[in-house]
Chains A and B, each alone.
Chain A
Amino acid sequence: MEQEILAGLKKTVLDYEIEKAESVAKDAISKGLDPIKCAEALTEAIRQIGEGFEKGDLFLADLVGASEVVKKALPPIHEEITRRGQKTASLGKVVIGTVFGDIHSIGKDMVATLLFANGFEVIDLGVNVRSDSFIDAAKKSEANILAMSALLTTTVMEQKNVIEGLRKEGIRPKLKVIVGGAPINQEFADRIGADGYGSTALEGVAIAKGLLGAG
């Protein structure tokens, strides 16, 4: 029975059944399933979707659709994990956002979704994020990675401002910084003192994994 329920959870993701997501998750918990195994089933499903995307068989809309299902299904599972005093396994904690003055979100959303699909815990601050908001979020969450997106040539320097802010707060050595966005390149990332630059969302995830020794 356990295997059936876990397979059902996985299928909910693979079939993009967002309406059923929460109820299927709650049902699994109510039947006494180990919530860690439930979370792993969801992660396994999203990883499968991610692999399909990397191969070119699935597309962005599929990836985002599947992650929406997982976002709905996870809260009751995490609640149960906390209740049982267990801990979730993740590759690391990433704070991500688009910098101040910039409201482009699609690239950042792709990276956030792929990081999540690859087992990271992602705190998405959204768009137009002020420097101090990035720094506060990184401090409070004890993030392993701070990821910043900028799509305007007028806003790329914000990435530098945030890195300087991390230094002033004394937390720069405690985390890795990765940057991305159409006007960014490796030379710029090096110049502002970032630890990594991804020219595509997939590359960004590989770099995040590499920086934490998880690749």
Chain B
Amino acid sequence: MIHARTVAQRAAAAGLSRIWSNTGTVVFTAAFYLMVTAVLAALWSAAAAVNDGHIVGYSASALIWYIAASEAATIALPQRLIEEIGQDVKGGAIEIEMLRPASVLLVRLSTQFGAMIARLSICAACGVVFSLIFAGRPGDFRALALAGPAVVLALVLSLVAQHLFAAISFWMRDATATWFLYQKLIFVLGGMLLPLEVLPQTMETIARWLPFSAMAYIPARLASGHFEPHLLLIQLGWIAAIGAAATITFNAGQRRLLEAVS
């Protein structure tokens, strides 16, 4: 029997090398990341310029660092992961994976984690260079140092949350399109497109209590020069909660598949 840790390590290594060995994917990831970051950086820079250089306490420079981090925390994961998992559930790929002597969820999460680290390294390198060129030095180096682990935690949280969201496919036939909803929740309530401080008071409060803000806003807030280490604890708390929910739901879904077959 192979140890679960070994399985996870091998799956992660496979995911990592799958991205790095494909030049087209590397170039596409870098180009797409730079494109989105450049568009949003231009938008927020223009917005700051017509508001005396500041929007809700963020300078134009801080906003560029914010966008660079929030985009890295979003683009490093496949855009349609929920849809892909849903198709695997419907198409029977999950049933085949259940024949392996290892947890389906663990192998999937580990493979995606490896691929995510590869994509993140591309996005992070592009993001730092882009921000240094167009925004200058970061506002606070200690905060930027925290933004690194915060981006990784944000992506891990997003990864398990997407599996939780996708697990709905075990029960609903048309659940694959729900990735649109998930993505848009991160866009606005997660702070990917705009800092949460831009939202109206009530909406901002709700957004802070939801897990989506830990997937984009927290690393972006740190990268924009706000030294707030307690934000990492919030991310860890959400990973524990959503991770447990994803495990329970995925296992229940697999049992449902087995019952349908037998």
Judge: A and B partners, yes or no: no
**Interface on A for B, CB 8 Å cutoff?**
none
